[in-house]
Amino acid sequence: MLEVRDLNAYYGKSHILQGVNLDVAAGEVVSLLGRNGVGRSTTVKAIMGEISPAGSIRFKGRNIAGLPSYRIARLGLGYVPENRDIFPTLTVAQNLALGQKDPRRQGRWRLKDMLDMFPNLQARVDTPAGVLSGGEKQMLTMCRTLMGDPELIMIDEPTEGLAPLIVKQVGALISEIARRGLAILLVEQKLSIALDISQRVYVMGHGRIVFEGTPADLKANHKVRHEWLEV
């Protein structure tokens, strides 16, 4: 479904991504792991068209490298950014409604699904999103992306800075997304979550993929974990 080949990206003169290759098949959950600053978030931003990419990015057989983000989204690629972009003056319900690409077409995810999974949002459905907690904003951002009915969703650091209870809820939502057959590319620091739900993992270091394999392969590879993941 998603095929990335020789992906390069720059911030000014800094060469951040240096020939990244990765794949995500339909219905597959893939995690992109690594320490902060190695290029994981830059990878998903380049795929989504938020920064200029060099290389091949194919989604459902179509080359999307260089397309504007809104066109990529309309093709069925969803993106949950790390900075939890929400519209603070709009209510929770209004934020979720904005995620729908075509309100006349019923997708796999309805407003009721979102509110049933997250009672926190149900209780604050008419509340301006700007007053939500960090965890509630993260839930809202993920749910708004799902309202667009993507076929593959890229989720960037969904548990960063959240309390343990909210981390558990976010992990449960990601598992539910996978159960419903959506493909997922997950950027995550917490190995316990990533290894539990992923079929395959990539480890990134210095702008390159340094490991690819199953969660079991990674657990068995002490050298890779010590060199590229452990603090």
Model confidence band, residue 159 (pLDDT cutoffs 50, 70, 90)? confident
pLDDT of residue 106: 63
Give the helix, strand, coil percentages of the chain, each rounded to 5: 35, 25, 35
- Residues 185 and 2 sit within 8 Å (Cβ to Cβ): yes
| Alpha helices, DSSP H, located in 49-161 | 69-74, 92-98, 111-117, 119-123, 134-146
Identify the pLDDT of residue 147. Answer: 87
Quote the pLDDT of residue 2.
Answer: 96
* Sheet strand arrangement including 152-156: 77-80, 152-156, 183-187, 29-33, 200-205, 208-213
Looking at the chain, which runs of residues are DSSP E strands? 2-11, 14-24, 29-33, 53-59, 62-63, 77-80, 152-156, 183-187, 200-205, 208-213
Strand partners, 59: 2, 62
- For residue 88, name the pLDDT band (cuts at 50, 70, 90): very high
When pLDDT is cut at 50, 70 and 90, the band that residue 43 belongs to is very high
The tokens 């993260």 sit on which residue?
Answer: 138
Reported confidence tier of residue 231, pLDDT bands at 50, 70, 90? low
pLDDT at 58 over 80: yes
Half-sphere CA count of 224, side-chain side, radius 13 A: 19
Q: What is the pLDDT of residue 47?
A: 96
CATH fold for the domain made of 2-228: Rossmann fold (3.40.50)
What average pLDDT does the chain have? 89
Q: How buried is residue 182: exposed, middle or buried, by Cβ count under 10 Å (0-12/13-18/19+)? A: buried
Rounded Cα distance between 95 and 85, Å, is 10
When mean pLDDT is compared across 35-44, 108-117, 130-139, the lowest value belongs to 108-117
Strands 62-63 and 208-213: unpaired
pLDDT at 105: 63
- Domain regions of the chain by residue span: 2-228
More reliable by pLDDT, 75 or 136: 75
